[in-house]
Amino acid sequence: MLKTRIIPCLQLRGESLVKTVKFDKYGYIGDPINTVRIFNELEVDELSFLDITASKEGREPNYKILKEIADECFMPLSYGGGVRTLEMASKVFQIGFEKIILNSHVFGNPGLITEIADIFGSQAVVVAIDVKKNFWGKYEVYAFSGTQNKKKDPVEWMKEVEKHGAGEIFLTSIDREGTWKGFDIELIKKVSEESRLPVIAHGGGGTIRDIEEVVKSGKASAVALGSMVVYQGKDLGVLVNFPDKQQLEHSLEIR
């Protein structure tokens, strides 16, 4: 097991896996169940699934596909998308997921974090913070798959959700997501240095060197990978894979 968690982050659209670029255009990746089987064989430590349209469409999670995923998966699972009540979260936990990722619906109801954490524990509640730079280069937090600017500073919002009982922060740079350009080190470091919670860095990872940089320079506690684990390379075809674990260990060791 790697000392730093490297988490494949897979995007659901309906019952298919897709991969977006900057939360916008997307490419078809394949069937989630077959993909889970491959990650089982690759012995990854954790898997994350995000339904990218549930909140925008105002619907509940697709419990059927989540059940199929949980039944097939050997490793811990987290899920985000459309969860807006304690009852919905409970259903996802009962299916077999260990963590819920909250985002859009906690802006209007931050108490939802506390409700879920009080029953299932803070370690089971992850809050996703999606961030984009504005015209003047200031970071702003977005909701509903990057379509709603909440006019919040990511560090201040992180502190707010921390107070409500979040156990982890899933921090995404919308500007870097799906681009292979490397992580936004400035953003990750800003939030990580102010947070008492583990921060999962997401958005832009393209090489093992990018992973090393976001952990060592950006102070990320964990790293979520999208494009890197579903494509052969930038502008190349679909290939479900995982970075070489020995190379990762070598890169992430403190020297």
Q: Which of 248, 193, 253 is nearest to 42 (CA)?
A: 248
Contact of 6 with 39, CB cutoff 8 Å: no
C-beta atoms surrounding 149 within 10 Å = 12
Q: How far is CA 130 from the centre of its chain?
A: 10
130 catalytic, yes or no? yes
Rama region for 147: left / alpha / beta (φ>0; ψ in -120 to 50; rest): alpha
Which tokens in the block code for residue 70?
Answer: 């949980």
Set 51, 130, 175, 184: catalytic member: 130
Q: How far apart are CA 51 and CA 59, in angstroms?
A: 11
Q: What is the 3-class SS of 186-241, one letter each residue? A: HHHHHHHHHCCCCEEEECCCCCHHHHHHHHHCCCCCEEEECHHHHECCCCCCECCC
3-state secondary structure of 39: helix
Sign for the pseudo-dihedral over CA of 225, 165, 151, 14: positive
Backbone angles phi, psi at 203, to 5 degrees: 115, 100
* Cα atoms in the Cβ-side hemisphere of radius 13 Å centred on 185: 12
Among all residues, which ones are annotated catalytic? Answer: 130
